[in-house]
A and B are shown apart, each in its own frame.
Chain A
Amino acid sequence: MELLIFYPIAGLCVALALGVILNTSPVGSAMCLIGMMLGLAGIFVLQQAHFIAVLQIIIYAGAIMVLFMFVIMLLNLKQTASADWISRDKNLFITILTSALAVGILYKIVDIIFMADLDSPAELPDTFGTVATVGESLFTDFVLPFEVASLLLLAAMIGAVVLAKPKLD
């Protein structure tokens, strides 16, 4: 039954990810990316990580994508030429080489994944993935990384303000 839910969501995610990189207009890419984020939230619910699924919707589909749309609108990007994503002539050889490498890596990863016998998930308790469980772990074992993350966000906020500020002269 879970597989019946997994396959459509996974197919949708892959299709939308391809939509992101094949779309000629940045707004279309951003819309595809929002759809992909929501699909991935569905995958996380399927993995019973409810807290992360909610965070995915709030942070990615909410905050980060709004920021992307904001910048796209701010820069007033014209729809670029339809051949925009086609690789550059002078780098055609390198592009083909890199694509071959990427396909080879993908093939090898999938090969290894299916070679390993990993088909029996552990019995999960009801508390798996709830806010209480994740929060308890976050505030006991991982309290230092949590504080460092807050410092990182503060630094990023100050950095963004300094970088985006017009020069005053």
Chain B
Amino acid sequence: MFEGTVPLAHYLTLSAVLFVIGIAGVLVRRNVIVVFMSIEIMLNAVNISLIAFDHYLNLSNGQIFSFMVMCVAAAEVSVGLAIIIALHRNKPTVNLDEFNLLKW
């Protein structure tokens, strides 16, 4: 039962499950930091898919692309956390529901 290599479908399923968990985190949680972490989960889930197809097709394009995803994630985290610090300076809370100035 446990012989042979891992089929592509398993990697893609893991990726889909992690992506949906990330979406659930973004939709349900109200803490800004945790919402940010959920976005990281989604980016990582996509990386699994990219590298799984790479492994399946014997290319290195997917690895380059996941490298770029990591670059964008690093940039996004540094700017996003700076925004959170700036927000926290204006209003000492991390509850997303209380930041509604631009909402309507």
Contacts and interface: CB of A to CB of B under 8 A. Distances in A.
Nearest to A23: B34
A155 interface: yes
Contacts of B38: 20-21
B82 A153 contact: no
Given A51-B63, A77-B94, A163 B83 contact: yes
Nearest to B30: A84
A133 B31 CA distance: 41
B18 A134 contact: no
A17 B21 contact: yes
A116 B12 CA distance: 12
Q: Is the interface of A mostly helix, strand, loop or mixed?
A: helix
A71 interface: yes
Contacts of A119: 7-9
A168 interface: no
Interface in A105-150: 105-106, 109-110, 113-114, 116, 118-119, 121-125, 128-129, 133-134, 137-138, 141-142, 145, 149
A169 B77 CA distance: 28
Nearest to B66: A52
Contacts of A164: 82, 85-86
Contacts of B27: 87, 95, 98-99
Contacts of A17: 18, 21-22, 41
B9 A156 contact: no
B25 A20 contact: yes
B63 A6 contact: no
B28 A14 contact: no
A18 interface: yes
Contact of B21 (A14, A26, A46, A133): A14
Nearest to B33: A26
Given A52-B51, A134-B60, 12 more contacts: A2-B4, A3-B4, A6-B6, A14-B18, A20-B38, A52-B63, A63-B74, A75-B33, A80-B31, A106-B16, A137-B61, A160-B79
Interface in B33-85: 33-34, 36-38, 40-41, 44, 47-48, 51-52, 54-58, 60-61, 63-64, 66-68, 70-79, 81-85
